[in-house]
């Protein structure tokens, strides 16, 4: 069962970034943040190696899977596979603007097809008992978001869908790269707050441009939660505030040395299963961002972790630059 308030703080689904190693790392920094997988397409799950794609570590809980697709039957099959694998929430991607996703006519393109989104959600919710949620933009292209977003939310909410994570900027499907689509269209947090005021029965989560926990709490005060993406990845130590400040668990600040020790044990276990060290360490490069020694930490990890035979000792050696020679020894 999903904890009641797990959505108060979540870490965004990010392709190529929030894989299981990254999520394990983020879990060392917060016991309570809700974690999301990278987007997995329904087709990949149905026709590919679902067991491998859905594999996660029990310590990642609470964890949600994000699916991509626009065909209700396929999404329902995929959702069932994900529920059976143990995920506590199935999230539908209605926000990704990449060409690859557009050619499959899902992701952000679905903002223009709320009835289809509602059908997809209904098809999934019929076959799973965990909540089905939607992550969307405020609009796309020429849509007048002030009108189109409330209409979208009302139609999809009737599916039923109770939880919406709203990336508070439009996506431009033509002319902007996915990266530009995360920076150029302006943020409109007020529109997200308007949705919550109109639909207090829904759980509305704010996403987009939030820098840290204080910022997230301030902007989501009238909402049900906040989701951090890039800031959590590039400056993961911001997550050290989550359990105390968001979930009120005093005395639960992580200790950087304990985090590193956990990552070393994990790396050893994963290497024994054939995972290269670099697949894990690439996610922890930002751990000491802004601190003295951070550059040497990153350099040691980037240069030494990909070498053949590299083991957890590389993490200790890199940490020496920040935490002192006792670590490097």
Residues found near ligand FMN in the complex (CB under 6 A)? 12-17, 38-39, 66, 93, 95-96, 135, 167, 182, 207-210, 228-231
Residues pairing with 227 in the sheet? 10, 207
Which residue number, 161 or 228, has a Cβ lying nearer to ligand FMN? 228
- Rounded (5°) CA angle 1-49-19: 60
Catalytic residue among 96, 120, 136, 161: 96
Q: How far is the CB of 137 from ligand FMN (least distance, A)?
A: 9
Which residue number, 177 or 269, has a Cβ lying nearer to ligand FMN? 177
Q: How far is the CB of 226 from ligand FMN (least distance, A)?
A: 9
Interatomic CA distance for residues 7 and 164, integer angstroms: 10
Residue nearest to ligand FMN (CB): 229
Q: How far is the CB of 64 from ligand FMN (least distance, A)?
A: 11
210 in Cβ contact with 241 (< 8 Å): no
Instruction: Give the three-class secondary structure for 171.
Output: strand
Structure tokens at 109: 């393109």
Q: CB pairs under 8 A, 24+ apart, for 194-200?
A: 194/146, 194/150, 195/149, 195/150, 195/153, 195/164, 195/166, 196/222, 196/223, 196/224, 197/222, 198/150, 199/153, 199/154, 199/157
CB atoms within 10 A of CB 258: 10
22 is catalytic: no
Q: How far is the CB of 218 from ligand FMN (least distance, A)?
A: 15
Which residue number, 136 or 264, has a Cβ lying nearer to ligand FMN? 136
Which residue number, 17 or 164, has a Cβ lying nearer to ligand FMN? 17
Q: Which H helix or E strand runs over 9? A: strand 9-11
Catalytic residue numbers, as ranges: 96
């Amino acid at each position: 069962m999903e904890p009641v308030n797990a959505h108060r703080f979540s870490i965004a689904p990010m392709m190529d970034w929030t894989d299981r190693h990254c999520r394990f790392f983020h879990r060392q920094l917060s016991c309570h943040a809700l974690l999301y997988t990278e987007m997995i397409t329904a087709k990949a799950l149905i026709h590919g190696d679902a067991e491998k794609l859905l594999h996660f570590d029990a310590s990642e809980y609470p964890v949600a899977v994000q699916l991509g697709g626009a065909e209700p039957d396929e999404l329902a099959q995929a959702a069932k596979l994900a529920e059976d694998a143990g995920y506590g929430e199935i999230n539908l991607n209605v926000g990704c603007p990449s060409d690859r996703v557009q050619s499959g006519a899902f992701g952000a393109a679905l903002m223009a097809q709320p009835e289809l989104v509602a059908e997809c959600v209904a098809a999934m919710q019929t076959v799973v008992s965990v909540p089905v949620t939607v992550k969307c933009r405020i609009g796309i292209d020429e849509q007048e978001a002030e009108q189109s977003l409330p209409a979208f939310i009302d139609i999809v909410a009737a599916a039923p869908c109770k939880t919406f994570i709203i990336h508070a900027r439009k996506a431009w499907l033509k002319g902007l790269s996915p990266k530009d689509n995360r920076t150029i269209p302006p943020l409109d947090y007020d529109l997200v707050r308007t949705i919550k005021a109109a639909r207090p029965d829904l759980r509305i989560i704010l996403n987009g441009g939030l820098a840290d926990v204080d910022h997230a709490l301030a902007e989501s005060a009238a909402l049900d939660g906040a989701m951090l993406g890039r800031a959590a990845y590039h400056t993961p130590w911001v997550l050290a505030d989550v359990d105390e400040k968001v979930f009120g668990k005093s005395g639960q600040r992580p200790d950087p040395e304990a985090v590193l020790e956990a990552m070393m044990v994990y790396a050893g276990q994963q290497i024994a299963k054939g995972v290269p060290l670099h697949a894990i360490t690439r996610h922890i490069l930002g751990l000491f961002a802004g601190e003295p020694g951070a550059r040497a930490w990153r350099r040691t990890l980037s240069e030494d972790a990909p070498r053949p035979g590299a083991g957890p000792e590389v993490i200790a050696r890199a940490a020496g630059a920040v935490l002192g020679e006792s670590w490097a020894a």
